[in-house]
A and B are shown apart, each in its own frame.
Chain A
Amino acid sequence: MRWAISEVPFVKRLLLGRWLHWSITAVTLAVFVVVILTGIFGTPAGNHNFGIVYVWLVWWALLKIVLIPFLGRFWCSVCPIPAPGEWLQRRAMIQPRPGGRLYTLGRKWPKFLRNIWAQNFGFLAVALFSALILTSPLVTGLVLLAFILVSLVTSLVFERRTFCRYLCPIGGFVGVYSQMAPVAVRIKDPAVCAGHKEKTCYIGSDAGYGCPYFNVPSKMVDNTYCSMCGECLRTCPKDNIAFYVRQPGADLLHTKGRRLDEAFNGLMMLGAAFVYSVVLIGPYGWLKATARAVGTPGWFVYAGVLLIFNAVAVPGLFWLCVRLGQALSRKPAARTGAGGARTPGRRDSLFADYAAILVPLGLAIWVAFTLSFTLINLSYAWPALSDPFGWGWNLFGTAQMAWTPYVSGLIPYLQVPLLLAGLVGAIALALRTARQHGQPAWSAVPVSLFCLAAVVGLLTLYLA
Chain B
Amino acid sequence: MSRFASRRWVLGAVTLGLVLVALLAPVPLAGPAPQERHISVNARTFEFDPSIVRVNRGDTVLIKLQAEDVVHGLYVDGYDVSTQAEPGRPGELRFVADRAGAFHIRCAVPCGNLHPFMIGKLVVGPNLTWLRAVAASVIAAVGALAALWRP
Contacts and interface: CB of A to CB of B under 8 A. Distances in A.
A and B touch in the complex (CB under 8 A): yes
Contact of B78 (A136, A289, A409, A423): A409
Interface string B99-112: 10111101010100
Contacts of A280: 117
Interface of A is mostly: helix
A440 B151 contact: yes
Contact of A46 (B45, B46, B116, B137): B116
A190 interface: no
B97 to A, nearest CB: 13
Nearest to A375: B77
B10 interface: no
A412 to B, nearest CB: 6
B141 A47 contact: no
Interface in A15-49: 44-47
A174 interface: no
Contacts of B123: 464
A416 B101 CA distance: 13
B137 A285 contact: no
Contact of A288 (B52, B114, B130, B138): B114
B37 interface: no
A135 B52 CA distance: 25
Nearest to B103: A409
B76 to A, nearest CB: 8
A376 interface: yes
Contact of A408 (B77, B137, B138, B144): B77
A452 interface: yes
Contacts of A424: 140-141, 144
Interface in B108-151: 108, 110, 113-121, 123, 127, 129-130, 133-134, 136-138, 140-141, 144-145, 148-151
Interface in B61-99: 75, 77-80, 99
B47 interface: yes
A208 B110 CA distance: 51
Chain B, interface size category, equals: 35 or more
Contacts of B77: 376, 405, 408-409, 411
Contact of A464 (B23, B127, B140): B127
A284 B145 CA distance: 37
B137 A420 contact: yes
Contacts of B121: 283, 464
A459 B134 CA distance: 7
A452 B101 CA distance: 22
Chain A, interface size category, equals: 35 or more
B46 A423 contact: no
A135 B113 contact: yes
Contacts of A456: 134, 137-138
B130 A423 contact: no
A377 B108 CA distance: 11
Nearest to B52: A283
B40 interface: no
A44 B113 CA distance: 8
Contact of A452 (B52, B80, B116, B141): B141
B140 A420 contact: yes
A236 interface: no
B119 A283 contact: yes
Contact of B108 (A136, A403, A416): A403
A427 B148 contact: yes
A282 B46 CA distance: 11
Contact of A283 (B47, B110, B129, B137): B47
A445 interface: yes
Given A409-B77, A452-B138, A416 B133 contact: yes
B134 to A, nearest CB: 5
A373 interface: yes
A112 interface: no
A385 to B, nearest CB: 18
A405 B120 contact: no
Contacts of B60: none
A448 B51 contact: no
A390 B128 CA distance: 43
A35 to B, nearest CB: 18
Interface string A169-208: 0000000000000000000000000000000000000000
Contact of B46 (A289, A416, A432, A449): A289
Contact of A431 (B103, B114, B137, B148): B148
Given A282-B119, A463-B102, A420 B46 contact: no
Contact of B130 (A403, A419, A444, A464): A464
A423 B110 contact: no
A330 interface: no
B47 A441 contact: no
A435 interface: yes
Contacts of B110: 45, 47
B57 interface: no
Interface string A381-409: 00000000000000000000001010011
A462 B121 CA distance: 9
9 contacts: A131-B114, A135-B114, A283-B52, A288-B117, A408-B104, A416-B23, A423-B144, A435-B150, A441-B151
Given A283-B120, A372-B104, 15 more contacts: A131-B114, A283-B119, A285-B46, A289-B46, A376-B106, A424-B141, A427-B141, A428-B144, A428-B148, A448-B144, A449-B141, A456-B137, A456-B138, A459-B130, A463-B127
Q: List the 9 shortest-distance A-B pairs measured between CB atoms, nearest first.
A: A285-B47, A409-B78, A283-B51, A408-B77, A427-B144, A463-B130, A135-B113, A285-B46, A452-B141
